[in-house]
Amino acid sequence: MKPSVQEIRWYKQTWPWLLMLPPLVSVVGGVAVLCLAIGTNDGLVATDYYRQGVTINERLTQERAASECPAKDLACSERRVREGP
């Protein structure tokens, strides 16, 4: 007895390749990301980042105090800088 449907090998059919495509793309993407992670330098932007942050906060406090006081009232702005926000 001859089967009515002709047997086709699995690698010649479309559906196995469609099922294997997402995992294969994930593996290739993972290898690409791994190569980028190993090959690039991800060092700190600055080694003294904490000190730079403190300096920025001090400058912002001084600018805020200067904007709240009249331009000619130097004692007011100095007092606000010492007191803080």
Domain ranges of the chain: 49-83
Task: Give residue-wise pLDDT tens across range 9-33.
Answer: 988 999 999 999 999 999 999 999 9
Distance, in Å, from the CA atom of 54 to the CA atom of 82, rounded to the nearest integer, reads 15
Q: What is the pLDDT of residue 29?
A: 98
Prediction pTM value: 0.46
Residue in the structure block whose two tokens are 């600055």: 46
Tell me the per-residue pLDDT of 40-85, one tens digit each, with 9 for 90 and over.
987 777 788 899 999 999 999 988 887 777 666 666 655 555 565 5
d(CA 54, CA 62): 12
Cα–Cα dist 42/36, whole Å: 10
Q: How far is CA 43 from the centre of its chain?
A: 14
74: closest CA among 85, 64, 83, 65?
65
